[in-house]
Amino acid sequence: MLPRYRGDLVQLGGSLPSYLSEEQLNSLTQSYQSWFDSTHPRYRKQRGRHWAVFLVLRFSGARLGEVIKIDDTQDINWREAEIKIVTLKRRKRAFRTVFLPQTVLTELSRILAEFPELRGRLFRVHPRVFRRIFAERATEAGIPRELGHPHILRHSRAVELLRAGVPITLVQALLGHASLTTTAIYLQVHQSEAKKILRERGLI
C-alpha cells in the first residue's frame, strides 16, 4: 500500500506556485495505479514505465527531465531507498540524493521483476507522451485542467515537505534548488495557511 495523505487545497494567486492537495495527490496516484494494474498485457510494459516515472516524480519532487535520465542499474540504492539524480539547470554537472518511501522501491522492483528487459531503461519515456498521459490521468482524478501537468508534483512535494516540518535547507537540497530564495517561495505558500491552522487549533 502506497503512502496516503490528507489535506485541503489552497487556491493561490500572484506568482506563488499552485499545488495539489493531499486528496488530489491520492486520487491521481490511484488513477495511475488502476491504469497500470487493469491494463491489457500488450500495454502493461509501457504503462509500467509511466507508472514508475510517476511514482518517482510524486515522491521525489524531481523534474521530469531529471527522472527520465535515471539509470535504475546505477543510480538507485535499493537497500537504502535512495536515488541519485543529475540536477538540471546547473552550469556544472551536479548530483543530489533523494529518499523515497520503501513502498515505492518495492513497486519499482515489482515492475522490473515482471519485465526484466527494462533494466537500465525503466524510466525511458518520451516527455511529450508522458505529459499527455499525465493530463488524462489528472482529468480522470477530477483535477482541474490547469493543474494537470507533471511539474505540479514538484510544487506539491515542496509544500508537503514544508507542512511536515522538514527544514527549508533540506527541502532545498532535495529539490535541487541552487538558491534558497527559490525554495522560500514554497515557504510563503505554507505560511499562507497560518491563520487557518491557528483557528482550527483554537489558538486565535
What's residue 154's pLDDT?
95
The third-level CATH classification (topology) of the domain covering 22-200 is hpI Integrase; Chain A (1.10.443)
- Contact between residue 57 and residue 64 where contact means Cβ atoms under 8 Å apart: yes
Percentage of the chain lying above the pLDDT 90 cut: 72
Contact partners, residue 61, CB within 8 Å, separation at least 6: 98, 153, 154, 157, 158, 161, 174, 175
Give pLDDT tens digits for 139-178: 999 999 999 999 999 999 999 998 888 999 999 999 998 8
What's residue 201's pLDDT?
80
Gap between the Cα atoms of 159 and 171, Å rounded: 9
Give pLDDT tens digits for 48-82: 999 999 999 999 999 999 999 999 999 999 999 99
- Contact between residue 191 and residue 182 where contact means Cβ atoms under 8 Å apart: no
Gap between the Cα atoms of 105 and 114, Å rounded: 14
- Residue type at position 70: I
- The pLDDT-based confidence of 180 (bands split at 50, 70, 90) is confident
- DSSP-derived 3-state class of residue 60: helix
Q: Which has the closest alpha carbon to 25: 145, 157, 128?
A: 157
- Contact between residue 159 and residue 134 where contact means Cβ atoms under 8 Å apart: no
Model confidence, pTM = 0.85
- The residue that leads in pLDDT, 24 or 192, is 24
What's residue 11's pLDDT?
37
